[in-house]
Chains A and B, each alone.
Chain A
Amino acid sequence: QKEVEQDPGPLSVPEGAIVSLNCTYSNSAFQYFMWYRQYSRKGPELLMYTYSSGNKEDGRFTAQVDKSSKYISLFIRDSQPSDSATYLCAMRGTGTASKLTFGTGTRLQVTL
């Protein structure tokens, strides 16, 4: 079993829809949680970063972390065609030497 599980999709939604992307994980040592967006094999772009449990909002994006369930989510409101990309969750434990462990990514397609 992988440390981080993420549904690969593809997920297709109409423009304007609310998108929900999720990851589950098994390592309780993970404390930092990130969402990256990756366009067609370009470098991953950091979207959201949260520490421990709770919610964080940035514009149309909301990240949620539920450590008791080992479950994280990214919500995208008013989705746009430009949001079409692969979304990768990533997480790490504490310490400066702690590596990021990534999910396999969910491919999102927002249609007109």
Chain B
Amino acid sequence: DSGVTQTPKHLITATGQRVTLRCSPRSGDLSVYWYQQSLDQGLQFLIHYYNGEERAKGNILERFSAQQFPDLHSELNLSSLELGDSALYFCASGGGHGNTDTQYFGPGTRLTVL
């Protein structure tokens, strides 16, 4: 158990809808990273938040947005969903306990868009 929690575990929705994925980092970690894993693309970095502020963006679509709250949990919002958004979405945390170098992954949210 990495100490990172993600909810929900599974999400099934229809095209055009909007969903919110939630992540709680390990105790003491200030950074939250979001990744998308699909069969043909592997693990792709989406966005990084550090102590409430956006620090880096990867290949994140404009339909996707994220935020990190004062209690350090983070939410990833996906809107106008398309079939191609079906994937595993992972949250990772790090940057705590003086260690900025490693990232610990949560169990993921499996999103299916029908």
Contact = CB atoms under 8 A, between A and B. Distances in A.
Interface of A: 32, 34, 36, 41-46, 49, 51, 88, 90, 92, 96-105
Contacts of A101: 45
Give 4 closest A-B pairs by Cβ, nearest first.
A97-B55, A43-B105, A102-B43, A99-B45
What's the dominant secondary structure at chain B's contact region? strand
B58 A41 contact: no
A73 B88 CA distance: 27
B52 interface: no
B108 to A, nearest CB: 5
A91 to B, nearest CB: 11
Contacts of B48: 97, 99
B55 A41 contact: no
B8 interface: no
B42 A100 contact: no
Contacts, number: 58
Interface of B: 2, 4, 31, 33, 37, 42-43, 45, 48, 50, 55-56, 58, 88, 90, 92, 95, 100-108, 110
Nearest to B91: A43
8 contacts: A41-B88, A41-B110, A92-B101, A96-B95, A97-B56, A99-B56, A100-B103, A102-B43
Contacts of A41: 37, 88, 108, 110
A103 B41 CA distance: 10
B101 A45 contact: no
A97 B57 CA distance: 9
A46 B104 contact: yes
B35 to A, nearest CB: 8
